[in-house]
Chains A and B, each alone.
Chain A
Amino acid sequence: MALQGTCREIEDIAIIDFSGKITLGEGSSTLRRTIRDLIDKGHRKIVLNLYDVDYIDSSGIGELVSGYTTVRNVEGELKLLHLTKRVHDLLQITRLFTVFDVQSDEESALKSFR
């Protein structure tokens, strides 16, 4: 399934609930566009809820990294929420688990912003 995301806002935090695959092509493009749109609208606190993303390839990982860097460059924060086992394992073996702020529940994710 192509990547789809729906945006919710809780105070000044944007939560994107994603479902589908983050892979080379449409999925990666959707992720890139979503983060860019949020930044353009002034959001600096972003949570990517990946509860329904069970597949990500190296291009998708690259877009996550790019999103992280883009948000950081505007002095914002980007966090990941509800990783599936496969995505979790991928971020572990690529050492990106040490880069991203990964949260296991939404309440903790919201409280973790500075």
Chain B
Amino acid sequence: MAAKTQRIEITLETLLESVDLAEVIVMRIAEAAGFNEEEIHKMGMAVREGVINAYNYGNQQIREKKIFMTVELDAEKMIVRVLDQGKGFELTEVPDPLAEENLLRTSGRGLFLMRAFMDEFNVHTAPGGGAELVMVKKLPDAVSGNGSSQPE
């Protein structure tokens, strides 16, 4: 019987405290799912950057707006989505923080770090507006291919 996908939906306030909260929630789920310490740390950091992006740029720190986070876990991967209530943006229009002319910029590294820390990363504009960040981390067994037991 195929394993079911488990899904958690969380509505976060547009508050600075939501950044830490989201990070802790995802790290706890990742730990329970069997990720190792370094992977948990990277996933926490990626989600942290995602919620910072939603808080600062998407929702412009407007208190009345919300940040919607969903975490899905199946046999192969964990998917985290962070949706804000802003105007959305195109990933291709974000300056490259590694470009020489951008190295001394004081912002603009969050998206890069999300992509660096997760196996897959993408940005969509949600139907109702707002940017949805989608981050995927493959479970260790899924990566190594050790999914089934072998008869001796």
Contact = CB atoms under 8 A, between A and B. Distances in A.
Contacts of B98: 94-95
Contact residues of A: prevailing secondary structure: helix
Contact of A93 (B16, B41, B116): B116
A106 B52 CA distance: 34
Interface residues of A, number: 21
Contacts of A94: 97-98, 109, 112-113
A99 B104 contact: yes
Contacts, number: 49
A69 B106 CA distance: 10
A57 B52 contact: yes
A100 B25 CA distance: 34
Given A57-B48, A57-B52, A58-B49, A69 B104 contact: yes
A95 B52 contact: no
A25 B110 contact: no
A95 B103 contact: yes
A57 B97 CA distance: 14
Contact of B107 (A25, A62, A90): A62
Given A93-B116, A94-B98, A58 B107 contact: yes
A25 B16 CA distance: 7
A74 interface: no
A58 B45 CA distance: 9
B106 A66 contact: yes
Of the candidates A57, A96, A99, the one having the most CB atoms from chain B within 10 angstroms of its own CB is A57
B4 interface: no
B19 A99 contact: no
Interface of A: 23-25, 57-59, 61-63, 65-66, 68-69, 86, 90, 93-96, 98-99
Given A62-B109, A69-B104, A94-B109, 18 more contacts: A25-B16, A57-B45, A57-B113, A58-B52, A58-B113, A61-B109, A62-B105, A62-B106, A63-B106, A68-B104, A69-B106, A86-B41, A94-B98, A94-B112, A94-B113, A95-B103, A98-B103, A99-B104
